[in-house]
Amino acid sequence: MITIAELRAKNGKMSQRALAREIDTTQTSISNWEKDPLSMNAENIVKLCLYFNVTSDEILGIKKE
């Protein structure tokens, strides 16, 4: 699993507020998702995947065995 905080750090230490602006949401939402990734809805998972060029499995911590 790769966390949103890790993705932000890899992207030039991006702030929660800056990410929120990029994907059209609030800083509070980003903060909540970092605490509980499973609280995101599908639309926001897709936005994060497209923005950071990662898969939903990576964000949600799904491992295929």
Q: What is the pLDDT of residue 19?
A: 98
Q: What is the pLDDT of residue 13?
A: 94
pLDDT tens-digit profile of 3-57? 999 999 999 999 999 999 999 999 999 999 999 988 999 999 999 999 999 999 9
Which tokens belong to 58? 């990576």
d(CA 29, CA 49) in angstroms, rounded, equals: 16
- The b/e string for 46-62 (b: 16+ C-beta within 10 A; e otherwise) is ebbeeebeeeeebbeee
Contact 17, 27 (CB under 8 A): yes
User: What is the sign, positive or negative, of the torsion defined by CA atoms of 49, 6, 32, 30?
Assistant: negative
pTM of this prediction? 0.89
